[in-house]
Amino acid sequence: MATPAKIIHTGSNQTLLRMNLSRLPKNLVVLVAETEARERHRLEIISSALTATLRIVKDGEEAVDYLSGHAPFFTRDSYPFPDLLIFNLQMPRMDGLELLHWVAHDSDCAALPRVVLDRPRTARDIDRAYQMGANTVFVRPALTDELRQTLQVITNYWCKAELPFVRHC
């Protein structure tokens, strides 16, 4: 029998919903921070073939605004809190390492799974991403079909994984 939903009140007057999500069908919401307009366009094309809903923002600062629920992302009905964050390391205004640092130190986001999807990087960049809290690092394929396949692998994995049980209501 599935575990019923439980309402949990936190000290910050935020209401969180805790559920046994492994027994529910998952519609994974993925926040993708992508700086290049061409890549955002490829992601929009690919998104219809995925078992997830992609929410695409243009950089690390916009990802923080989305995660924080700041304008224009304040309505969680329209901008649901993501199950997964995918981003690249090289972004203007706030790079991927700064985004990793922010997510790791924000109490609402610290458990959010983080995946780097970027052009080939040095071993130092990859090590630093893992040290800063990335769960996985993937090289972004140049071909659109290979990118679709990579995103399908990522989203399929996280659909099957036990995700953090915290949902923002």
Closest C-alpha among 44, 161, 71 to residue 113: 161
Residue 136 has φ and ψ, to the nearest 5°, of -155, 150
- pLDDT at residue 5 is higher than 70: no
Pairing of strands 28-33, 15-18: unpaired
The CATH class of 27-168 is alpha beta
pTM: 0.82
Domain boundaries of the chain, sorted by first residue: 27-168
60-84: pLDDT as tens digits: 999 999 999 999 999 999 999 999 9
Provide the pLDDT confidence category of residue 169 given band limits of 50, 70 and 90. very low
Output the CA–CA distances (angstroms, integers) from residue 39 to 120, 122, 163, in the order listed.
Answer: 15, 21, 27
